[in-house]
Amino acid sequence: MSKEIVNLEPLAVWENFYKLTQVPRPSKKEEKIQSFMMDFGKSLGLVTEKDKVGNILIRKPATPGMENRKGVVFQGHLDMVPQKNNSTVHDFEKDPIDAWIDGEWVRARGTTLGADNGIGVACAMAVLQSKTLVHGPLEALFTCDEETGMTGAFGLQPNWLNGDILLNMDSEEEGELYVGCAGGINADIEFEYDEVIIPEDVTPFKLVVSGLKGGHSGLDINLGRGNANKLIVRFLKHATRELDVRLAEINGGGMRNAIPREAYAVVLVPTDNISLLKKAVLRYESIYKNELGAVEPTLTFTVEEAEVPKSLIEERVQDDIIDAIYGCPNGVIRMSDGMPGMVETSTNLSTIKSSKGVIFVKCLLRSSVDTAKDDLVEQVDSVFALGGAMVSFDGGYPGWKPNMDSEILAQMKEIYLKKFGRTPAVMGIHAGLECGILGAVYPNWDMISFGPTMRSPHSPDERVNIPSVLKFWDFLVEILKNIPVK
Ligand SMILES: [Zn+2]
């Protein structure tokens, strides 16, 4: 059963990984894994500490002759995402994970495997245990609750760690080195409006944008996909101005971190203008398809009859909302200078919802450059403030600006090339990683995120590639030998 994984190479890594599968550790229920880790560090006679939020730090001194090297901090998170198939009986707070070997992969029976980030943690444990590896001063930082709030990263205190180089082991593709990520912040906008009585001689219609691909608001923001909220508002600007259409209701998108796939508006049209409205919808649909069809082949924009709404949005606020949403920046704002192909700054106008005298609008702003994010905050604030809305920002977290002159990056590229005969890919990710938050607390850290190859993390299909673990380990051992002198 599960035990067979301990015979995989490298033995020390898989033995530790097996032990981790035996300790329940769903996010926010991490007491068991924390005490397991405390015992692990102490049993090796290493300085082992836990901070107030639940992060664990184990320090291991340099091996003889390596004391003058820069300090390395290994970092991984102890929690895992608890997902299971409907048919699987499993209590993530009590039951061990049943890992098994499926060809080149290790996966779990019916549940997430917890290779995210158990395999990184197991590698760090193997280094801490080793009596033969050569390395400078080491610290292993095991953070808590990465998956549901990055509580550990946010709670990390300054002046606790002494290292100079952070090796985060939570990436999912062997042969890729991550050197940057985006920070983010939420914008919440509210327009208040008076509900106005429906006039005579108007007919209600529902306008619907649908069939868009949507996607992740960070990772997919550079794909040129349509934003349903933006498309519906673009039409409303035309229809309110040219056809005396009045807005009763508007609703688009859902989750803040998803590009909105659908949006609708309920409008009232002067009876004389109905045929013009229908023609205009057809025209705008062909405009949208012309502009976006290559990326959004199933996009549709339609008009259908609707029930008479209870009230209208007062005209002044209606026009302000349309102007502000129309003017609000959306999509990629700037690409990274240092890292070709990486988005530096973006925003996603994710949600619009009218309800009982209030229209709520939500955006998610991201940047790997914190001052660029601040600038975008002011842009979004300005456009909605001009429209008379109340604007607030919360949930902000810092990004990690790629440093292409990083010493450890150059070193790791060289080692990888020598060892494996090719240059590793250097990447940035336009989404949040713990590194962004940790690096803001320790601005001196030279940081890299890497890891073995994994597929479908956060799902019961999660699996980790066995040969990539061995390769990752060999690379890690070589890096430790070659850490620059302080
Ligand atoms: Zn992870």
CATH number at residue 428: 3.40.630.10
Residue 477 inside a domain? The answer is yes
37 Cα: distance to centroid of ligand 1 (angstroms): 18
Question: What is residue 178's three-state secondary structure?
Answer: strand
For 97, 163, 298, 315, 481, the CA distances from 72, given in Å and listed in that order, are: 31, 5, 50, 61, 11
Please indicate, yes or no, whether residues 241 and 376 belong to a single structural domain of this protein.
Answer: yes
Spatial CA neighbour of 69 closest among 405, 407, 406: 407
Give the span between the Cα atoms of 178 and 412, in whole angstroms.
12
Close Cβ partners of 465 (under 8 Å, ≥ 6 residues apart):
104, 105, 174, 452, 453, 454, 455
171 Cα: distance to centroid of ligand 1 (angstroms): 7
Please indicate, yes or no, whether residues 384 and 236 belong to a single structural domain of this protein.
Answer: yes
Please indicate, yes or no, whether residues 281 and 382 belong to a single structural domain of this protein.
Answer: yes
Close Cβ partners of 350 (under 8 Å, ≥ 6 residues apart):
217, 229, 253, 254, 255, 256, 257, 258, 259, 260, 362, 363, 364
Please indicate, yes or no, whether residues 150 and 213 belong to a single structural domain of this protein.
Answer: no
Single out the residue in 331, 363, 397 at which a domain terminates.
Answer: 397
Structure tokens at 382: 């300005």
Please indicate, yes or no, whether residues 324 and 257 belong to a single structural domain of this protein.
Answer: yes
Please indicate, yes or no, whether residues 161 and 193 belong to a single structural domain of this protein.
Answer: no
* Residues spanned by the domain of 140: 2-181+400-481
Please indicate, yes or no, whether residues 264 and 351 belong to a single structural domain of this protein.
Answer: yes
Close Cβ partners of 272 (under 8 Å, ≥ 6 residues apart):
none
Out of 79, 164, 173, 446, pick the active-site residue.
Answer: 79
74 Cα: distance to centroid of ligand 1 (angstroms): 14
Out of 15, 139, 145, 146, pick the active-site residue.
Answer: 146
147 Cα: distance to centroid of ligand 1 (angstroms): 7
pTM assigned to the model: 0.88
Residue 486 inside a domain? The answer is no
Q: Which residues in 350-377 are b (16+ Cβ under 10 Å) and which e?
A: bbbebeeeebebbbbbbbbbbebbeebb
Helix segments in 246-342, DSSP class H: 274-292, 315-327
Q: Is 146 noted as a catalytic residue in this protein?
A: yes
Give the span between the Cα atoms of 20 and 116, in whole angstroms.
11
Please indicate, yes or no, whether residues 247 and 342 belong to a single structural domain of this protein.
Answer: yes
Residue 160 inside a domain? The answer is yes
Single out the residue in 362, 397, 432 at which a domain terminates.
Answer: 397
Which DSSP state fits 156?
P
Please indicate, yes or no, whether residues 383 and 430 belong to a single structural domain of this protein.
Answer: no
Residue 103 inside a domain? The answer is yes
Give the span between the Cα atoms of 125 and 15, in whole angstroms.
10
Structure tokens at 418: 């020598």
467 burial (CB, 10 Å; 0-12 / 13-18 / 19+) is middle
Q: Is 79 noted as a catalytic residue in this protein?
A: yes
CB 115 within 8 A of CB 106: yes
116 Cα: distance to centroid of ligand 1 (angstroms): 5
Ion ligand 1: residues, CB within 5 A, are 116-117, 170
78 Cα: distance to centroid of ligand 1 (angstroms): 9
| Count: domains in the chain | 2
Residue 310 inside a domain? The answer is yes
Per-residue pLDDT of the chain (486 residues; tens, 9 = 90+): 568 999 999 999 999 999 999 999 999 999 999 999 999 999 999 999 999 999 999 999 999 999 999 999 999 999 999 999 989 999 999 999 999 999 999 999 999 999 999 999 999 999 999 999 999 999 999 999 999 989 999 999 999 999 999 999 999 999 999 999 999 999 999 999 999 999 989 999 999 999 999 999 998 999 999 999 999 999 999 999 999 999 999 999 988 989 999 999 999 999 999 999 999 999 999 999 999 999 999 999 999 999 999 999 999 999 999 999 999 999 999 999 988 889 999 999 999 999 999 999 999 999 999 999 999 999 999 999 999 999 999 999 999 999 999 999 999 999 999 999 999 999 999 998 999 999 999 999 999 999 999 999 999 999 999 999 999 999 999 999 999 999
Query: Which amino acid is present at 375?
Result: D
Single out the residue in 380, 397, 414 at which a domain terminates.
Answer: 397
Please indicate, yes or no, whether residues 43 and 119 belong to a single structural domain of this protein.
Answer: yes
Residue 384 inside a domain? The answer is yes
Give the span between the Cα atoms of 207 and 202, in whole angstroms.
15
Please indicate, yes or no, whether residues 92 and 9 belong to a single structural domain of this protein.
Answer: yes
Close Cβ partners of 51 (under 8 Å, ≥ 6 residues apart):
57, 155, 156, 157, 160
What CATH number does residue 229 fall under?
Answer: 3.30.70.360
State the pairing for strand pair 358-367/343-355: antiparallel
Please indicate, yes or no, whether residues 359 and 467 belong to a single structural domain of this protein.
Answer: no
